[in-house]
Amino acid sequence: MNLAIRYYTKSKKGNTEKIAKHIEEKINVVALDVNHPLEEEVDTLLLVNAMYAAKIDKEIKQFLKNNKDKIKNLININSSASGASTYKNVEKVCDECNIPISDKEFHTVASWIFINKGRPNEEDFERLDIFLKELNLGE
């Protein structure tokens, strides 16, 4: 299976990047930020993103639009301080771009200022490992 990992983070804490790099380590696929377009068609794109001000960033939307012909399936992996999932926002862009999106999703809370301090934490990463195993990825 041809996999790719792309992420976008603008937080100084880098929670989204931490999640992407954790996945990279577990499945041995390099995680790159969305400034790196897909070089070839992928069977599955693991899109690691976050909720900012109740929506996804324009960089995520633009990446999906620019790479829509190279993504056979997308799995949404996300975090947010509010606890809200980005799934519906990502699904909307995928629908506009005719990108199939899996109904399987990983979501966790993340720290921001004084909210959810220390998250994602060891338990969140353990849940992520279980999610990756359920997808037949990782150890």
Indicate the pLDDT class of residue 43, thresholds 50, 70 and 90.
very high
Share of the chain above pLDDT 70, in %: 92
Could you give the count of Cα atoms lying within 13 Å of 87 in the half-sphere of its Cβ? 13
Domain boundaries, the chain: 3-134
Region of poorest pLDDT, from 17-21, 24-28, 74-78, 84-88: 84-88
Domain 3-134 has CATH 3.40.1280.10: no
Region of poorest pLDDT, from 9-23, 86-100, 110-124: 110-124
Q: Which of 81, 78, 108 shows the shortest CA–CA distance to 90?
A: 78
Residue type, 41: E
Predicted confidence (pLDDT) at residue 8 exceeds the cutoff of 70: yes
Q: Please list the residues that pair with 47 across neighbouring strands.
A: 6, 76
The radius of gyration of the chain from alpha carbons, rounded to an integer in Å, stands at 14
Please give the pLDDT value at position 27: 95
Share of the chain above pLDDT 90, in %: 71
Please give the pLDDT value at position 54: 73
